[in-house]
Amino acid sequence: MDEITQKVVDGTAWREFCGMLADAGDVILAEGNPDSPLDRAEGFRMLTRLLRGALESKLEYGRPTEPVLVRACHETVKIVGENPDNHYLGASLDGQYDYRIWGTRGDAKWISFNLFSGAGFGGGGPGTGNTMHEEQMHIEPDGTFELVISQREHPGNWLQSETATRSIAIRQTFLDRPSQRHAELHIERLGADTRTPAPLTAEELYLALIYTGFYIKGVAEIGAGWATRQAQWPNMFTDEAELPETDKFKDPQIKWHQGYFDLAEDEALVVEVTPPDCEYWMIALHNHWMETLDYVHHQATLNCHTAKVDDDGSVRFVIAHRDPGVPNWLDTAGHRRGTVGVRWVGPDVIDVLPSTSLVKVSSLR
């Protein structure tokens, strides 16, 4: 019996995994993080959400020989400033294989396909690899398409992989996600046989648990560390708090800027900007752990379709604890503090940084 199998059989692997979860919990308790009951509860809840998402992706559907598109970021699994207008899909890949993704385009405003080597976001690696965007693709008049992922060139829509390729992330960005038609996408490994999948192995379980433990802690450290650094510049936008480790995982067509809000009950943060000419833009509020606030029950996000834009192209957002009776209110959903992020999305976007002013809510009436 090899060492990994022995660790699974005698319970060592499980105890190591539980120890990694305990270490992840220390991230929530680290100096600089807020210690209010709400902030602490949401911090520990975030760890459980990351746990669910990682196990789904890496244990249940982690075999690159049998890829499955998994939605591991959504209303109850939120990952470092995720976009609530996005429908995220991902799959485990292996660069030695060729894959085909096919289906229908749907009504998304913007679509991207990103390859990653190594463990991906939260687990290290070189960052975003080769990418494909809709303007580079041939899509049939009825909205159907197929995309081949391989190291060797392929006719038609081809996304080049590398030996080290280990995953793909797909973003569909919507103007009104709940009501618009989503893409119907499928993935297969080319040349795969149709035999019933083999039973789980001890090595697969062990590697999935180890990955999950590192991933949870890594993502928690990224979000909490970024927000804590951002809090040094309260109530303003600045890129000073972002580290290269996070910047390198962006899609090349996404420009992202962030601020940290910290508001008393009678205060509001006014955000003013003239969004650049782009395919799509948005603003969203997040908690200290950089999870988007509850956008299902609160107006915690607006975009180029839902926001009121002035005749000159400028827009003013108001972040406040209660509705001040002005357009483009963003609801803090009971949070005194958190982050606010904007995205400008599309090819060759001219970047802009929003300006802010801290005011009394009473002055807005």
Domains in the chain: ranges and CATH:
3-189 (2.60.120), 235-364 (2.60.120.600)
> Length of the chain, please?
365
Contact 80, 86 (CB under 8 A): no
List, edge to edge, every strand of the sheet that includes 280-286: 254-262, 337-345, 280-286, 301-303
Nearest to 249 by CA among 70, 80, 77, 40: 80
Task: Give the residue with greater pLDDT, 246 vs 95.
Answer: 95
Half-sphere exposure of 112 (CA within 13 A, CB side): 19
- Cα 296 to chain centroid distance, Å, stands at 17
* pLDDT surpasses 90 at 181: yes
Q: Which pTM was predicted? A: 0.95
- Spatial neighbors of 340 by CB under 8 A, at least 6 apart, are 237, 258, 259, 260, 261, 269, 271, 283, 284, 285, 286, 319, 330
pLDDT of residue 195: 82
pLDDT of residue 243: 84
Distance, CA of 290 to CA of 293 (rounded, Å): 9
Task: For 196-228, write each residue's pLDDT tens digit.
Answer: 899 999 999 999 999 999 999 999 999 999 999
